[in-house]
Chains A and B, each alone.
Chain A
Amino acid sequence: MTALHLQNFSVFRGPCDVLRNINLQVGAGECVGLLGPNGAGKTTLLRGALGLMASKGQSSIAALPLAARAQHVAWLPQAREIAWPVKVETLVALGRLPHLGVGQKPGPLDQAAIDSAIARMRLQGLRGRIATQLSGGEQARVLIARALAQATPVLMVDEPAAGLDPAYQIALMQTLTAEARAGRTVIASMHDLGLAARFCTRLVVLSQGEVVADGPPAQVLTPDVLARVFHIRAYVDHGIHGPIIQPLDVME
């Protein structure tokens, strides 16, 4: 089953096009890392595909009606916003809103999804804390838990690892790959090439609004792509841990 299908997909902002003729098909069980330098159009691709921005061409997700879309895909924006001093538990429970009818209260199924999301992000100890009083990294984990609690076939996250310490970065990526292994689809924009290479099943590289590389990490992260797109030189190795990449220096 196709989780996301983009066809001749373009997004314009004023007179300039931010994305040009993107064709992308993502299936169930994939953990896709969306890479690219700043301003390449990663966030625009995700928001456009979700129908949050005006676009041209086809997006299978944006074509869904609003309520069906919220049950098909959970979206974690880059801006981590928690407007009110609510409890962690209350915040994670917001992920169940798309599954509740008018006036319907969360049932045992919803509670199970909330508990599982809290457990997967290791937030049991913070359940009763006020979310706005937590550290930035903890808030990020709470917000990811909200997206997990939505329990959708597709999970789209914008730079989920930003602001997390190394242990939680790895734990997060493991959670995301576990989601993919369970048959769901994860599409995450990222900047950490090392994490992307190690954990994603597929990498899509964007540059200046176009897809310039698409495939398994080992095929995508070549010295040529790193030089052309990211303007860096990196140490790349393929060992028992899969591809290992360590950026070394910036190319002139």
Chain B
Amino acid sequence: MARGLGAGLVGMVMALFAVSLLVGPAGLPPLQALTALVRGDALAETLVMREIRLPRAMLAVLVGAALGLAGAAMQGYLRNPLAEPGLIGVSGSAALGAVLALQTGLAAVHILALPFAALAGAVLAVLLILALAGPRGGSITLILAGIAVSALAGALTSLVLNLSPNPFAASEIVFWMMGSLADRSMTHVILAAPFIVAGALVLLALGRSFDALTLGEDAAASMGVSLVRVRVMLVLGVASMVGAATAVAGAIGFVGLVVPHILRPLVGARPSALLPASALGGAVLVLMADIAVRVILPTRDLKLGVLTALVGAPLFLHLIYKTRAQGL
């Protein structure tokens, strides 16, 4: 990654993190908010800062980095700019786990019941995908297995909604699935962070393999890349990051697709350089979107996933248009 780009992205993450801490319905003056956060002597303000805004901003960074990095890794592995983290079915399965927790009332029993159910869904998806895709073979079997698992998880989620006994449960499920970072606590951060950091380490280690895969699977294999190992590590890394992100934030679309796409020209299209850049870029995008939902409609709880899709889809269309204009 070019040094300038890296520094720019880190600067943006830090600036947006600060803005995220200063935006909220409590309407604290910036200086007072920051003193309350650091000193911790003013009771109400400190509570707002430490228990509401800080975890929210931290989750935005974690979830954004997870989606951006997982998206870049999927695109690098599949050599396809349209690949996204949801492709292997982990986010769909994590959502199914969460939906089941909401449906059965488990989610109301304990704050961590829903995220744990979502993680269980992600783990099940990983086992199913690895079993379906088999020990040998290229990326095609992995995509097919992912599509099958996604479709199954989607169908089961619909079934749960379909059989939902009352409209309140159904609407709760629908709202959760739209994705949000509102009303999360430090507990959520502590739950998601280890999975996201571990997944990031696994995926960042695959950078060179993705570079070699630029020449195709055969050439990469002849250059010392173990395709079997790369595939297992990719599935585990993506599942760990995206499973944890979905567990704490719900389904947030388009980040994993758009961020690598925007940053690719800025890193000379090298897949290994795109990985860290996309992690930072994802954090920037989710921080911006999460600030926007609080600023645009402060009273209406606009969902983060709705906004990322609303912004992401036209942005993506614009990118397609630009690509077409270059005659590619």
Contact = CB atoms under 8 A, between A and B. Distances in A.
A67 B215 contact: no
Interface stretch (A74-82, A190-198, A240-248): A74-82
A69 B328 CA distance: 36
B211 A94 contact: yes
A69 B225 CA distance: 11
Contacts of B265: 85
A81 B268 contact: no
Contacts of A100: 208
Given A86-B270, A87-B268, A90-B268, A150 B223 contact: yes
Q: How large is the interface on B (under 10, 10 to 19, 20 to 34, 35 or more residues)?
A: 20 to 34
Given A86-B268, A86-B269, A81 B224 contact: no
Interface residues of A, number: 33
B215 A143 contact: yes
B327 to A, nearest CB: 9
Interface string B48-83: 000000000000000000000000000000010000
B203 to A, nearest CB: 15
A81 B215 contact: yes
B226 interface: yes
Nearest to B215: A81
Given A77-B218, A81-B219, A97 B224 contact: yes
A84 B214 contact: yes
B118 interface: no
B298 interface: no
Interface string B266-284: 0011110000000000000
A187 interface: no
Contact of A81 (B216, B264, B269, B270): B216
A91 interface: yes
Contacts of B264: 84-85
A127 B79 CA distance: 23
Contacts of A97: 208, 211-212, 223-224
A77 B212 CA distance: 13
Residue with the greatest number of chain B CB neighbours at <10 A, chosen from A47, A75, A143, A150: A75
B271 A84 contact: yes
Contact of A47 (B216, B218, B271, B328): B218
A70 B224 contact: yes
A251 B14 CA distance: 75
A169 to B, nearest CB: 22
A98 B223 contact: yes
A202 interface: no
Given A77-B216, A79-B216, A85 B222 contact: no
B79 A84 contact: yes
B221 interface: yes
Interface of B: 79, 208, 211-216, 218-219, 221-226, 264-265, 268-271, 328
Top-9 shortest CB links A-B? A70-B224, A81-B216, A75-B222, A83-B79, A84-B269, A77-B218, A86-B269, A98-B224, A83-B214
Given A85-B264, A95-B223, A133-B328, 7 more contacts: A77-B215, A81-B219, A83-B215, A86-B270, A97-B223, A100-B208, A150-B223
